[in-house]
Amino acid sequence: MHRRIAALAVTVATAGTMLLGAASTASATGPGFYLRSHHASLAECQAVGNAGADNALWSRVFICNPFAGKPGVYELWVRY
């Protein structure tokens, strides 16, 4: 019984931490930005962002943020 309660508490705490991490990343980009993709490096994220802007898939304004859930992963946020 105690193990189940402890496991539930850990699960709830982990889920809450993940939600807060996602919320902080989204709020750092500002209004009007949309998550487009995830990339293995900052250079790759910027290259994809520039390629989409050059092809008019989204505006010239894009942001590459570190992903809070995994170190070494970058999120591409774009404005359409």
For 16-68, write each residue's pLDDT tens digit.
444 444 444 555 667 899 999 999 999 999 999 999 999 989 999 999 999 98
pTM for this model (two decimals): 0.61
Cα–Cα distance for residue pair 25/4, rounded to 1 Å: 32
Cα–Cα distance for residue pair 66/24, rounded to 1 Å: 11
Q: Is 25 helix (H, G, I), strand (E, B) or coil?
A: helix
